[in-house]
């Protein structure tokens, strides 16, 4: 069955994935003489850098998610389909989905990356990842539920297990979650749970390397550690988490941390797309592309963002898997697709590092901008405004801004709600 | 096992339910010389009058839900427990919960009412109720998902089934949902789904009686009908829905309406509380109370709000099951409990009708205030401000206000997100 999208005289560009890369590309192509089909499994774009604030009850999911249809209202060339993608047939130039197959002239894979559990199935089953707004919301519900349960537990060890948290991975996500949790412990929880001794909550951050924020400067890394330790986060270096049974985290040094919750932010792996040439799939499941983002061994399949592995002289391991790179890929590819249509030659991409930042808590952030490194309150302010500026939608910006100002002034968040949509009895029956 | 709440010299008042009645009562008692235990299955209070706006993607759940713990921060006499209640033992004065049993000196049942399917199990299984914020969110997800699916359906009948909606019950909820859906159809959906002919969406409102808004004035009822028909809602009177298999609604006149979604707002039934004297449970599962809210056949069990059936001369069928009555019960009972402590006599309750309102859409509402009936834009404005005023929490007020102004000016909502918290694999396995 063919997917129900009108045929047109225009060449069809199919974009899979509405993240930073896919969405940016679709927006740049919407007024061009192409038919654009944007496919995502969700009906919204999600703003990944703030997932951790959703998990920590500081922001609502709706503030950092934006309906894809709203982004393309009135665009007659853009067709959005909410569905999974099963496989690609590069010979017939067809993409297969549960809604039917979809022909393409150009296929852009912006399918991103998901949590990498490095093959440990037990951890995959029991740990809490944070690579989608749904997972962030689930994490929030788990944290709050465990505090409620802990209130009724009189046995000391069991109570500790419920309130302690292990975070795996000292990258930006791990550092930001640890900082946000530590602030929640300090400012919010004592007011909500006077019956619990919130000083007893232990927040563990476990990192395999010997420093935090690999990829950022030593200054940033040092300062982040200082900030986290100032917030009582227990940081361990050169340690891996080798197992987690839902009650205890097993570490590579053979010790254990009893904890009911383990947040896994230790790495990513590219999402799969069956049907591509085997040689195009490289380390971390990324797709090897040339400097025009064309996937190796294909002629009209492109990959952008986290999923793309493009070697450059300065980036022998590919570009960093961050929003910035995805958006730069998207902008460049949009230019190349326009050139293609005019019969011009495509131009090779080169990555421009705009720097990176991470925030640890109120007035505490670290920033490495090109030629300018700084940490502390000013970095934190810059971090806030950069993120506010990037968020899609004026109303989202307004709501996030109010939330941040509110939380800053009151030392409180008011989103500590354990809300789950009612389960569909039919869905429950299917499981 | 005893629930883990510190014993104190104070008498213990246990309140079950954090709705309008239970929450109001707990707030009035928090500074009194009582130990107050507030039990709810959710960790938040929910603002029922705006559920329909959550369902129609106009408001976020967090705007109309308020964390119970936040409402009682710093109150040393108030203990909140998030749990179900299994039964009451009126002899031993104990309430049984999965967290253990809880002794009480006074037990206040503010357990409210749930959707009444009048014993029709098929409807109960397949219809969409709207008596909690979770159910409202689920309804939203269902509506949006069906529109996405409809895009790929080429067969006319099947597509109609996916986009048409049947609403059962012409009370305030039914009328408000129908109006909000009709406005979504008119203003939002054509922009989001240019490929669908949104004029084809049929919204059916089915009412068993011969008029809408029973309990309000004829003027209100007439005008509500006029407003709804102006918005193209198909209203049927003197008709019952006798069955719904998930694809077709069967009506009492033997006709059918093909529709994948049926919203059930046709009645409520009191929530159950095992362990009470059999005679105290009357029609609609309500608990018969005297003018002091004491449940018949008990001495220290009280019922307030929707669950309470109190006969007054002017109210032979009990008070209306609305927020207003619950709050009046709560205020009065708080007074009586204070009197009790001072050794004074309790005073009998009498209900004061403050009027009622319903909104059908922008600039369209009906209001029956004592001695003053009006309909239209002014009623709508009053409706907005009365509800804004009642919502708990300053930030919630601000967010709802911005949302309303925004939606009003843009004819758009931006909350059309199908977000579900990720399912817990452990939970899924249990099901």
Q: Among A76, A195, A420, whose Cβ lies nearest the Cβ of B134?
A: A420
Of all residues in chain B, the percent with pLDDT exceeding 90 is: 79
* Cα three-residue angle A183-A185-A191, rounded to 5 degrees: 110
Give residue B424's pLDDT.
Answer: 54
B60 touches A: beta carbon within 8 Å: yes
Q: Among B148, B152, B425, whose Cβ lies nearest the Cβ of A43?
A: B148
Contact B395 A412 (CB under 8 A): no
Contact B395 A418 (CB under 8 A): no
Count other Cβ atoms within 10 Å, centred on residue B297: 13
List, in order, residues 6 or more apart from A193 with CB less than 8 Å away.
Answer: A147, A151, B69
CA–CA dist A326, A303 (Å, integer): 10
Contact A416 B4 (CB under 8 A): no
Give the 3-state secondary structure of residue B209: coil
What domains does chain B contain, in order, with CATH numbers?
A: 11-115+269-341 (3.50.50.60), 121-266 (3.50.50.100)
Give residue A409's pLDDT.
Answer: 82
Give residue B422's pLDDT.
Answer: 66
CA distance to B165, B233, B325, B361, B376, per residue, from B230 (Å): 17, 8, 33, 11, 13
A431 touches B: beta carbon within 8 Å: yes
Catalytic choice (A75, A86, A121, A176):
A176
List, in order, residues 6 or more apart from B299 with CB less than 8 Å away.
Answer: none
CA distance to A335, B159, B337, per residue, from A80 (Å): 22, 18, 60
Show pLDDT as tens, one digit a residue, over chain A (431 residues): 899 999 999 999 999 999 999 999 999 999 999 999 999 999 999 999 999 998 888 888 888 999 999 999 999 999 999 999 999 999 999 999 999 999 999 999 999 999 999 999 999 999 999 999 999 989 989 999 999 999 999 999 999 999 999 999 999 999 999 999 999 899 888 989 998 998 999 999 999 999 999 989 999 999 999 999 999 999 999 999 999 999 999 999 999 999 999 999 999 999 999 999 999 999 999 999 999 999 999 999 999 999 999 999 999 999 999 999 999 999 999 999 999 999 999 999 999 999 999 999 889 999 999 889 999 999 999 999 989 888 888 888 888 888 888 888 877 766 677 777 665 544 444 43
Which residue of chain B has the CA closest to A124? B425
Closest CA to A102 of A118, A85, A123, A114: A85
Catalytic residue IDs of B: 176
Give residue B429's pLDDT.
Answer: 44
Q: How far apart are the first and last CA of chain A?
A: 27
Of all residues in chain B, the percent with pLDDT exceeding 70 is: 97
Contact B43 A144 (CB under 8 A): yes
Contact B142 A424 (CB under 8 A): yes
CA–CA dist B427, A380 (Å, integer): 38
E strand spans, A99-255: 100-103, 106-109, 113-115, 165-168, 203-206, 234-236, 241-244, 248-251
**pLDDT tens-place string over residues B24-44:** 999 999 999 999 999 999 999
Please state whether B126 falls in left (phi above 0), alpha (psi between -120 and 50) or beta: alpha
**pLDDT tens-place string over residues B373-412:** 999 999 999 999 989 888 888 888 888 888 888 888 877 7
Exposure string over A280-306, b if 16+ CB within 10 A, otherwise e: bbeebbbbbbeebbbbbebebbbbbbb
Which residue of chain B has the CA closest to A416? B67
A132 interaction partners in chain B (CB closer than 8 Å) = 422
* Cα three-residue angle B304-B131-B408, rounded to 5 degrees: 115
Element housing A270 (H / E)? strand A268-270
**Can you give the pTM of this predicted structure?**
0.91
CA–CA dist B251, B249 (Å, integer): 6
A412 touches B: beta carbon within 8 Å: yes
Q: Which residues 284-323 of chain A have a CB within 8 Å of chain B?
A: none
Look over chain B and give the mean of its residue pLDDT values, rounded to a whole number.
Answer: 92
B38, B190, B396, B419, best to mutate vs chain A, most A CBs in 10 Å: B419
Contact B43 A151 (CB under 8 A): no
CA distance to A369, B187, B346, B413, per residue, from B228 (Å): 58, 15, 46, 20
A5, A395, A419, A426, best to mutate vs chain B, most B CBs in 10 Å: A419
Contact A246 B426 (CB under 8 A): yes
Q: How far is B415 from chain A (nearest CA, A)?
A: 6
Show pLDDT as tens, one digit a residue, over chain B (431 residues): 899 999 999 999 999 999 999 999 999 999 999 999 999 999 999 999 999 998 888 888 888 999 999 999 999 999 999 999 999 999 999 999 999 999 999 999 999 999 999 999 999 999 999 999 999 989 989 999 999 999 999 999 999 999 999 999 999 999 999 999 999 899 888 989 998 998 999 999 999 999 999 989 999 999 999 999 999 999 999 999 999 999 999 999 999 999 999 999 999 999 999 999 999 999 999 999 999 999 999 999 999 999 999 999 999 999 999 999 999 999 999 999 999 999 999 999 999 999 999 999 889 999 999 889 999 999 999 999 989 888 888 888 888 888 888 888 877 766 677 777 665 544 444 43
Q: How far is A137 from chain B (nearest CA, A)?
A: 5
List, in order, residues 6 or more apart from B132 with CB less than 8 Å away.
Answer: A422, B42, B46, B51
A41 touches B: beta carbon within 8 Å: no
Reported for B25-28, long-range contacts at CB under 8 A and 24+ positions apart, including other chains, are B25/B108, B25/B110, B25/B304, B25/B330, B25/B333, B25/B334, B26/B71, B26/B72, B26/B78, B27/B71, B27/B72, B28/B330, B28/B331, B28/B334
A2 touches B: beta carbon within 8 Å: no
Q: H helices of A165-308, where? A: 172-183, 189-192, 218-230
A6, A62, A84, A121, best to mutate vs chain B, most B CBs in 10 Å: A62
A134, A184, A417, best to mutate vs chain B, most B CBs in 10 Å: A417
B3 interaction partners in chain A (CB closer than 8 Å) = 152
């Amino acid at each position: 069955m063919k997917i129900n999208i009108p045929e047109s005289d225009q060449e069809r560009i199919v974009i899979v994935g509405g993240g930073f890369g896919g969405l940016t590309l679709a927006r740049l192509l919407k007024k061009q003489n192409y038919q654009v089909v944007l496919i995502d499994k969700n009906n919204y774009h999600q703003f990944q850098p703030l997932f951790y604030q959703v998990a920590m009850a500081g922001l609502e999911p709706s503030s950092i998610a934006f309906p894809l249809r709203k982004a393309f209202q009135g665009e007659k060339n853009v067709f959005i389909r909410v569905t999974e993608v099963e496989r690609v047939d590069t010979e017939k130039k067809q993409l297969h989905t549960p809604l039917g197959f979809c022909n393409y002239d150009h296929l852009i894979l912006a399918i991103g990356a998901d949590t990498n559990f490095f093959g440990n199935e037990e951890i995959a089953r029991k740990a809490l990842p944070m690579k989608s707004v749904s997972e962030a919301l689930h994490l929030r519900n788990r944290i709050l539920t465990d505090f409620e349960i802990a209130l009724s537990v009189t046995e000391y060890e069991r109570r500790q297990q419920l309130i302690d948290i292990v975070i795996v991975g000292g990258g930006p996500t791990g550092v930001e979650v640890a900082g946000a949790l530590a602030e929640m412990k300090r400012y919010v929880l004592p007011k909500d749970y006077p019956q619990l001794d919130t000083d007893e909550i232990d927040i563990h951050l476990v990192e395999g390397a010997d420093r935090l924020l690999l990829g950022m400067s030593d200054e940033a890394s040092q300062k982040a550690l200082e900030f986290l330790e100032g917030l009582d986060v227990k940081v361990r270096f050169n340690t891996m988490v080798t197992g987690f049974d839902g009650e205890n985290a097993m570490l590579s040094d053979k010790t254990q941390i009893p904890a009911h919750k383990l947040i896994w932010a230790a790495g990513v792996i590219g999402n799969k797309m069956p049907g591509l040439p085997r040689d195009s799939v490289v380390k971390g499941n990324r797709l090897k592309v040339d400097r025009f983002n064309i996937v190796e061994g294909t002629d009209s399949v492109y990959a952008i963002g986290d999923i793309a592995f493009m070697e450059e002289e300065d980036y022998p391991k590919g570009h960093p898997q961050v929003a910035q790179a995805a958006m730069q890929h998207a902008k460049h590819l949009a230019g190349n697709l326009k050139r293609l249509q005019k019969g011009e030659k495509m131009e090779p991409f080169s990555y421009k590092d705009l720097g990176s930042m991470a925030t640890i808590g109120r007035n505490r952030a670290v920033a490495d901008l090109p030629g300018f490194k700084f940490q502390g309150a000013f970095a934190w302010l810059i971090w806030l405004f950069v993120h506010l500026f990037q968020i899609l939608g004026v109303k989202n910006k307004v709501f996030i801004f109010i939330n941040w100002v509110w939380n800053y002034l009151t030392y409180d968040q008011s989103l500590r709600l354990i809300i789950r949509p009612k389960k569909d009895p039919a869905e429950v029956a299917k499981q």
